[in-house]
């Protein structure tokens, strides 16, 4: 049985693989021909083979449920999401530009605060920020970079424009799944890699290592770099193990590290204490150092912040970088790009109304039934209002909360996320909504992954791509095009 | 290697060995008691709790003394931290935190073992199915160790695993010798007791071939304490710990202690030991092992 592309049930979103008249988009012709040639039967068999590979390789993520934690197989759909290299090059430039501006902003906020003095960014936002860390004021990390690893979430709207939905600057995760997805796809569709020019993604661990190693203080050569994990109960533990292994680094927990009398950081090994120069920490700010943040934290290292401030150790990302990881601050990124870099933003934000501004607030309150309202500092959809789907009572409750604490809320239009053909549970090919999380590195140099992690909402009509809530993922191909 | 990882590996070795020894102990006690008509069998079972050093923990669980209570406590009780099921669960947890250090088959094997216990451990408490169950448990422990023998590079990870395994094994050796000799009421003839002792460590063929085709008390006790070729003999175990220590830094204290204990085992008068009851000497050996553990812990963990 071949594939009935003509019967593909398009949604209101734009499809990444097909034009509205069911023909392949530019760059996707090869994939389209190949899939058509395989037919549905064979496609389903390959999907099954992929799922078996995932089980055998033990690619898992952890789901919390009532104190228990369960390792689940990573949900994966074999049909890749594809972006032509010409479009991708522009996105890549946009991401580098964006992270450069964000890092200048973070440094400014903990330094001279020019952007506030010049009236571009309101001081009151900072005063209320939950991720501003007074312990970081006056710090000047190497290269002026605070967020060395950033995962930005991109979406494509109905008009086909790529927009930035948020920037994850604290401890973004997902990159190991991007790498594993490619590994699986190579096993499942080996024929395609012969004929298509698909950019490799495999150099990420090496690039990450270079970024980390270049941050070693006092020019120690070779520096000792470690990965700091909260431990096996963390939902991203698989990734921590994976990255440590791929970079050949020690995976440490807080209790493996100690700060010495000279404020250097050491790890406890069977041959005594060994100096550590760079820590790629996958532990949140507030758990890093019980002497300065949550005193009850068992995950951190007492004295770590002191060691960092004295320049004895590099922390990646730097503490306090999360100040720019805030939905209200997000709304100012285009202004930051103009202010710090004197350039026009290459990538646009989703239109965002800041309830802090009187005019915006009035608009939001009048159009609550059309907008999505989000609190500044929550993630995973908590405290959010989806206007068109909310009841009158829910909307009124939200209106009350906005009036009481306008700084804490922003609003955005409902966006029909783009779709990619996906094999459904009953073996049909239907559109499912996707986003894209590329990973951007900044240090001595900047780099972006070729593509990123495409997350897909596996439930029909759903816009929720989180793996804990029925989301899965796809391999992402940047395909070299002739022009 | 990180101290935490080394400690995890060491304990994983101990837990796996403890699981196997617990299965051996229960299995051999069951068979031995069947050969002692007229004795109080319940008493025989209750002594197992003493051997494993769990009297206080047993009292706390509220289990009744006797066959059912003791086997449940030693094999399946989740609130007994040394039970078979707990030992395997701990070994798996330890491995989970350092999966990257070990071959994939080892993780699969231990996972499979946990699933087996979840489904089958009830059988260990029923006298009719116990033998089959314990036999399978011992086989799985041996398979897991076999995977490491066949796939893990000889290096620090292997050595810490081996040290844990042999520390635990040496400890168990002193415990079976202590109890069985003391409990040896010559009702059914002592020979059967010594034979069971040998069988509990799968040592019968090795003993008959290398020591004496006839089973007698002095030779068996000497074999189990001193033999340098039999892998479950006390001095063999200590020697293996010593071999591992030799590859590590800061090993002087540990090696010194091992040499001293080996000497005292080699020079001990075995017939006197049996005549007077071995309890005091076995306590002494257990304390020496405890000291050795403390030295390892202070030096490397």
Average pLDDT of B24-51?
79
Give the count of domains, chain A. 2
Q: Which of A55, A249, A270 should be substituted to probe chain B, the one whose Cβ sees the most B Cβ atoms within 10 Å?
A: A270
**In this complex, do B2 and A245 lie within 8 Å of one another by their Cβ atoms?**
no
**In this complex, do B2 and A231 lie within 8 Å of one another by their Cβ atoms?**
no
Question: pLDDT at residue B70 above 70?
Answer: yes
Please report whether residue A479 resides in a domain. Answer: no
Please report whether residue A12 resides in a domain. Answer: no
Least confident of A84-88, A142-146, A426-430, B42-46: B42-46
Q: Which domain holds residue A385?
A: 351-413
Angle between helices B217-226 and B190-200 (to 10 degrees): 20
- Grade residue B189 by pLDDT with cuts at 50, 70 and 90: low
Question: pLDDT at residue A457 above 90?
Answer: yes
State how far the alpha carbon of B262 is from the alpha carbons of A424, A456, B46, B231, in Å: 67, 64, 31, 15
Please indicate, yes or no, whether residues A207 and A303 belong to a single structural domain of this protein: yes
Q: What is the pTM of this model?
A: 0.84
- A244 close to B (CB below 8 A): yes
Question: pLDDT at residue B185 above 60?
Answer: no
Residue B175: the pLDDT is 87
Average pLDDT of B278-300?
95
**In this complex, do B3 and A245 lie within 8 Å of one another by their Cβ atoms?**
no
**Cross-strand pairs, A81:** A476
- Which pLDDT tens digit goes with each residue over A303-357? 999 999 999 999 999 999 999 988 899 999 999 999 999 999 999 999 999 999 9
Between B182 and B36, the higher pLDDT residue? B36
- Grade residue A1 by pLDDT with cuts at 50, 70 and 90: low
- Grade residue B183 by pLDDT with cuts at 50, 70 and 90: low
Question: pLDDT at residue B39 above 70?
Answer: no
Q: Report whether the peptide linkage leading into residue A317 is cis, meaning its omega lies within 30 degrees of zero.
A: yes
Please indicate, yes or no, whether residues A207 and A312 belong to a single structural domain of this protein: yes
Between A427 and A81, the higher pLDDT residue? A81
Structure tokens belonging to residue A221: 């050569």
B96 CA: distance to closest CA in chain A (Å): 7
Cα torsion through B148, B153, B157, B161, rounded to 10: 30
Rounded-to-integer distance, Cα A260 and Cα B1, Å: 19
Question: pLDDT at residue B188 above 60?
Answer: no
Please indicate, yes or no, whether residues A312 and A357 belong to a single structural domain of this protein: no
Average pLDDT of A229-250?
90
- A251 close to B (CB below 8 A): yes
- Grade residue A69 by pLDDT with cuts at 50, 70 and 90: low
Give the CATH number for residue A278: 3.40.50.11290
- A245 close to B (CB below 8 A): yes
Residues of chain A numbered 207-236 and touching chain B (CB < 8 Å): 231-232
Give the CATH number for residue A362: 3.30.1490.270
B97 CA: distance to closest CA in chain A (Å): 6
Please report whether residue A261 resides in a domain. Answer: yes
- A271 close to B (CB below 8 A): yes
Residue B225: the pLDDT is 96
Region for residue A246 given its phi and psi (left: phi exceeds 0; alpha: psi -120 to 50; beta: otherwise): alpha
Please indicate, yes or no, whether residues A295 and A210 belong to a single structural domain of this protein: yes
Task: Tell which of A316, A340, A373 closes a domain.
Answer: A316
Please indicate, yes or no, whether residues A256 and A300 belong to a single structural domain of this protein: yes
**Cross-strand pairs, A225:** A278
Average pLDDT of A253-261?
96
Please report whether residue A457 resides in a domain. Answer: no
**In this complex, do B107 and A241 lie within 8 Å of one another by their Cβ atoms?**
no
B246 CA: distance to closest CA in chain A (Å): 13
Question: pLDDT at residue B230 above 90?
Answer: yes
Please indicate, yes or no, whether residues A208 and A310 belong to a single structural domain of this protein: yes
């Amino acid at each position: 049985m071949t594939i009935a592309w003509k019967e593909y049930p398009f949604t209101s979103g734009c499809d990444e693989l097909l034009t509205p008249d069911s023909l392949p988009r530019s760059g996707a012709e090869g994939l389209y021909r190949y899939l058509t040639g395989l037919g549905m039967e064979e496609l389903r068999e390959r999907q099954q083979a992929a799922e078996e590979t995932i089980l055998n390789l033990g690619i898992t993520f952890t789901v919390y449920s009532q104190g228990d934690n369960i390792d689940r197989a990573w949900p994966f759909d074999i049909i890749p999401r594809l972006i032509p290299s010409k479009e991708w090059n522009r996105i890549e430039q946009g991401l580098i530009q964006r992270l450069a501006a964000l890092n200048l902003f973070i440094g400014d906020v903990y330094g001279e605060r020019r952007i506030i003095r010049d009236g571009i960014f309101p001081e009151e936002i900072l005063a209320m920020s939950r991720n501003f860390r007074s312990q970081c004021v006056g710090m000047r990390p190497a290269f002026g970079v605070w967020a060395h690893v950033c995962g930005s979430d991109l979406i494509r709207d109905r008009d086909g424009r790529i927009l930035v939905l948020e920037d994850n600057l604290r401890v973004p995760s997902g990159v190991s799944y991007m790498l594993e997805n490619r590994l699986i796809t190579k096993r499942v569709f080996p024929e395609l890699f012969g004929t298509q020019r698909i950019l490799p993604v495999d150099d990420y661990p090496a690039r990450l290592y270079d970024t980390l190693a270049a941050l070693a203080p006092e020019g120690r050569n070779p520096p000792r770099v470690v990965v700091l994990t909260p431990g096996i109960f963390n939902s991203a533990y698989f990734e921590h193990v994976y990255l440590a292994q791929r970079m050949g680094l020690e995976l440490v927990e807080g209790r493996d590290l100690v700060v010495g009398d000279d404020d250097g950081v050491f790890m406890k090994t069977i041959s005594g204490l060994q100096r550590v120069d760079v820590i790629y920490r996958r532990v949140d700010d507030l758990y890093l150092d019980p002497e300065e943040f949550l005193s009850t934290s068992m995950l951190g290292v007492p004295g770590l912040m002191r060691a960092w401030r004295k320049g004895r150790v590099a922390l990646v990302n730097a503490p306090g970088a999360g100040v720019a990881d805030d939905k209200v601050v997000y709304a100012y990124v285009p202004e930051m790009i103009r202010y710090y870099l004197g350039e026009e933003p290459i990538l646009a934000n989703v239109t965002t109304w800041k309830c802090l501004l009187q005019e915006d607030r009035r608009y939001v309150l009048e159009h609550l039934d059309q907008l999505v309202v989000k609190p500044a500092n929550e993630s995973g959809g908590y405290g959010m209002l989806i206007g068109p789907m909310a009841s009158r009572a829910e909307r009124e409750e939200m209106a009350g909360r906005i009036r009481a604490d306008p700084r804490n809320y922003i609003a955005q239009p409902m966006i029909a996320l783009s779709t990619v053909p996906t094999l459904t549970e009953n073996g049909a090919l239907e559109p499912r909504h996707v986003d894209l999380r590329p990973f951007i590195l900044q240090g001595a140099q900047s780099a972006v992954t070729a593509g990123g992690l495409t997350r897909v909402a596996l439930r029909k009509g759903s816009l929720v791509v989180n793996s804990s809530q029925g989301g899965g993922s796809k391999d992402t191909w940047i395909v070299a095009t002739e022009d | 290697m990180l101290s935490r990882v080394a400690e995890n590996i060491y304990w994983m070795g101990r837990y796996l060995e403890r699981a196997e020894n617990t299965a051996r102990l229960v299995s051999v006690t069951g068979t031995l008691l069947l050969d002692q008509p007229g004795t109080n069998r319940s008493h025989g079972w209750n002594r197992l709790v003493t051997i494993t050093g769990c009297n206080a923990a047993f009292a706390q669980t509220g289990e009744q003394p006797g066959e059912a209570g003791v086997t449940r406590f030693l094999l399946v009780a989740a609130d007994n931290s040394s039970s078979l099921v707990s030992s395997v669960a701990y070994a798996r947890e330890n491995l989970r935190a350092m999966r990257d250090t070990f071959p994939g088959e080892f993780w699969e094997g231990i996972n499979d073992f946990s699933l087996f216990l979840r489904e089958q451990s009830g059988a260990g408490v029923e006298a009719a199915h116990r033998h089959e169950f314990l036999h399978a448990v011992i086989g799985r422990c041996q398979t897991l160790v076999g995977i490491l023998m066949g796939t893990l590079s000889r290096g620090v990870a292997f050595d810490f695993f081996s040290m844990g395994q042999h520390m635990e094994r040496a400890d168990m050796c002193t415990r079976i010798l202590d109890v069985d000799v003391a409990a040896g009421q010559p009702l059914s003839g002592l020979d059967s007791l010594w034979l069971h002792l040998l069988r509990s460590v799968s040592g019968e063929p090795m003993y008959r071939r290398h020591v004496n085709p006839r089973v007698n008390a002095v030779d068996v006790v000497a074999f189990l304490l001193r033999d340098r070729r039999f892998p479950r003999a006390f001095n063999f175990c200590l020697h293996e710990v010593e071999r591992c220590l030799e590859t590590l830094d800061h090993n002087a204290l540990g090696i010194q202690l091992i040499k001293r204990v080996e000497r005292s085992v080699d020079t001990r008068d075995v017939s006197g030991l049996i005549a007077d009851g071995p309890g005091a000497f076995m306590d002494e050996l257990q304390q020496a092992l405890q000291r050795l553990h403390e030295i390892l812990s202070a030096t490397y963990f």
